Amino acid sequence: MSNVAGLEPGLEGACGPRAKMRAMQPPATREAPWLAAMLIAIALTFLALFLVMPLVVVFVEALGAGLSAYVAALSEPDARAAIGLSLTVAAIAVPLNLVFGLMASWAVAKFAFPGKSLLVTLIDLPLSVSPVVAGLIYVLLFGAQGLLGPFLIRHHIEIVFALPGIVLATVFVTFPFVARELIPLMEDLGNGDEEVALTLGATGFQVFMRVTLPNIRWALLTGVLLCNARAMGEFGAVSVVSGHIRGLTDTMPLYIEILYNEYNGVAAFAVASLLAGLALATLAAKALLEFVFRPRDVEDPVQRVRRP
């Protein structure tokens, strides 16, 4: 029997560790080449039909009347107001959910306390409640005929049919995303790295910034991206609390619906293409940050603590 270590370099790949592992697999766990090709074809077909083609149609329809019509549709005062409102709501809701997600994940993953399972259940609650129901709850609480409505009217505080109500509805439907990404990872990581850093004399803030945060940065980034995408595209809850005041409380999804119902397809697809472009730009930013910063993740957390 030949010695694997003594083989020529060209034969090492054929008899390397991966090849030996494949050879050790029982036949029941080895897929036939035709099966692998079929599964790949099904996956690519599904992505083409339900992801790529709709995006292509959006951009084709948006530019169907020419670039001048596209620019004119986005230059309308109502369109600019909807774009600005969507960006404002996302800029408020995402940082709030980032802070909440970090705090909730730290509490769930690092501590044992009564009601821990209840907290995890409440974090998942917005995923099981219809966004329309969530918006209706805020109307029943803060509307003119709601529980707190008379008090708010007396003090001239506007929540429903104004920016605060839209932000509250958006925060409600988006706050699980950061926590759901962080909790499983932080539970898997455990407390070992933090305990080592503490024994080296690091403060609690140093432990968080130099050990915990680098370990969870990619889950945190993924959660923020998902939260931002949902905040930009939220329709149901915002539709209930916004009041559809054109030019004031219409976000981009609501404005797209108004344009489409008015049979203004070019303008509707123009705003929709901008919304899709923002989502694609967010994914591109994630890929760029991962390409630039990911090699630093291999650094030993102990060295991060010792670094001045």
Q: How many CB atoms lie within 10 A of CB 52?
A: 11
The pLDDT-based confidence of 203 (bands split at 50, 70, 90) is confident
The helix (run of H) or strand (run of E) holding residue 272 is helix 265-293
| Residue 152 · residue 158 · CB < 8 Å | yes
Over range 197-205, report the average pLDDT. 85
Task: Compute CA distances 115 → 121, 298, 305, whole Å.
Answer: 10, 36, 33
Quick one: average pLDDT of 117-144? 90
pLDDT tens string 155-178 = 999 999 999 999 999 999 998 999
Residue 131: both structure tokens together: 């966004």
**Torsion angle, alpha carbons of 202, 205, 211, 217, to 10:** -170
CATH homologous superfamily for 81-295?
MetI-like (1.10.3720.10)
Query: What residue spans of 63-162 are helical by DSSP H?
Result: 67-75, 77-110, 116-128, 131-142, 149-154
Check if the beta carbon of residue 174 is closer than 8 Å to that of residue 230. yes
- Mean pLDDT (whole number) for 283-291: 76
- Residue 12's pLDDT is 45
For 19-64, write each residue's pLDDT tens digit.
555 555 555 556 678 888 899 999 999 989 988 898 899 999 999 8
Residue 288 has a CB neighbour count (10 Å cut-off) of 10
- pLDDT tens readout for residues 247-276: 899 999 999 999 999 999 899 999 999 999
Domain map of the chain by residue range?
81-295
Angle, helices 77-110/176-189, rounded to nearest 10 degrees:
30
Structure confidence by residue, pLDDT tens digits, 221-251: 888 988 998 899 899 999 999 988 888 999 9
Lowest mean pLDDT among 126-130, 133-137, 221-225, 294-298: 294-298
Instruction: Check pLDDT > 60 for residue 14.
Output: no
The answer to whether the CB of 89 falls within 8 A of the CB of 163 is yes
d(CA 293, CA 277): 24
